[in-house]
């Protein structure tokens, strides 16, 4: 049987002070940054300049955000 201390440490849904978006945003941004660093590193290793790699990534993002874009 749970102790009173154990029950008291569980936060009810009504007591949450962060929204789901606020809680996930730091993780999302960290993953996005990690992915961009890896893409730039791969492009540089393939002979691209870092500037060209960043421009290509930006273009991919713009293309993905266009209305009517269909996933592959």
At 70, give phi and psi (nearest 5°): -110, 130
12 domain residue, yes or no: no
- In the numeric block, which tokens belong to residue 63? 């293309």
C-alpha span between 11 and 16 (Å, rounded): 7
Q: What count of other Cβ atoms lies within 10 Å of the Cβ of residue 71?
A: 4
3 domain residue, yes or no: no
Domain extent at residue 40? 17-65
Mean pLDDT, the chain cut into blocks of 10 residues (72 residues total): 55 71 90 95 96 94 78 58
pLDDT, residue 56, reads 94
In our burial notation (b when 16+ CB lie closer than 10 A, e otherwise), range 44-58 reads: eeeeeeeeebeeeee
Tokens 């930006």, residue? 58
60 domain residue, yes or no: yes
Q: Domain count of the chain?
A: 1
pLDDT, residue 48, reads 96
32 domain residue, yes or no: yes
């Amino acid at each position: 049987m749970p102790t009173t201390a154990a029950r008291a440490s569980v936060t009810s849904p009504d007591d949450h002070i962060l929204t789901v978006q606020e809680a996930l945003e730091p993780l999302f941004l960290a993953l996005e940054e990690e992915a961009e660093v890896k893409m730039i590193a791969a492009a540089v290793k393939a002979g691209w300049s870092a500037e060209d790699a960043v421009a290509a990534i930006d273009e991919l993002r713009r293309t993905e955000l266009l209305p009517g874009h269909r996933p592959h």
